[in-house]
Structure 1
Amino acid sequence: MITSDQIRAARALIRWSAEDLAARSGVGLSTIRRMETAEGIPSASGKNLAAVQKALEAAGVLFIQENGEGPGVRLRKNLTLDMFAGSGNAAPEFQRITARDDGLVIVTNPPYPSRKK
């Protein structure tokens, strides 16, 4: 099972808002917020926890289980994630997040790739 700390960290790692996670997982926003404020493993239904985990994993997050140092998250190696991100009333902007083999995470704002006709 994933913890509330892992959910918050995963969302921050891929720069998703709680609203983004709710939309991508199909779980209600108020449920996401309750999950993230819980201590340890959220008391949400197994179905909702699985949906949140699946959505975050599809975006490239790996969940690291307790290994003596505590549970954690990281991005898959050699992963590039293209997305739109914005906050508040600001217009979303295109971002590319790349996790390299050496563990470095790079966030850039390249021009949005156009579709070839």
Structure 2
Amino acid sequence: MITGRQIAAARALLGLTAADLARQVELPLATVEEMEARATACPDDRSEVEVLRTALEKAGITFIDERVTSAAGGPGVRLSVPLSTSHDTDVSGTVQYPEMAKDGPFGAGG
């Protein structure tokens, strides 16, 4: 489950307005605004939630469930590598993250 605040935070991380996101996922702006205004979890049975979640994840958002990464942590979002981005691999198939390699040994972070 994701909350409206997570949707709004994810959108902000991507630099999108609510209108941009609504246009991208082909939903009415009022629907996006209504969902973002929810402080509680959005109902999973609404197809709009799945459409928004899928689009945001493809753009590079990772949704963090409550208390998954920290005993005291609430729900959140993280900007990650977009799902549509492919990673370069070496001949052994090890994923090489350039941002990690610059500060560490070759293969760091992979």
TM range (shorter): 0.5 to 0.7
Who is 1:14 aligned against? 14
- Counterpart of 2:60, as a letter, is G
User: Considering only CA atoms, is the larger Rg found in Structure 1 or Structure 2?
Assistant: 2
Q: What's the CA shift string for 1:61-90, capped at 9, x where partnerless?
A: 01011114100001115x6xxxxxxxxxxx
Task: Give the deviation of 1:18 after TM superposition.
Answer: 0.4
Task: Give the deviation of 1:34 after TM superposition.
Answer: 0.5
The counterpart of 2:78, out of the listed 71, 74, 78, is 74
Q: Does the alignment pair 1:54 with 2:58?
A: no
5+ residue gaps, structure 1, are: 80-99, 102-117
Q: 1:29 to 1:37 in 2, by over 3 A?
A: same
5+ residue gaps, structure 2, are: 83-98, 101-110
Runs of 4+ in 1 over 2 A off after TM superposition: 42-45
Who is 2:33 aligned against? 33
CA distance in 2, matches of 1:44, 1:31: 15
- Counterpart of 2:79, as a letter, is L
Task: Give the deviation of 1:23 after TM superposition.
Answer: 1.4
- Counterpart of 1:65, as a letter, is D
Who is 1:64 aligned against? 64
CA distance in 1, matches of 2:28, 2:16: 15
Q: Structure 1 length normalisation: TM-score?
A: 0.61
Larger strand proportion of the pair: 1
Higher RCO, 1 vs 2 (CA within 8 Å, ≥6 residues apart):
2
Task: Note the aligned Cα RMSD (angstroms).
Answer: 2.2
Identity %: 40
Q: Structure 2 length normalisation: TM-score?
A: 0.65
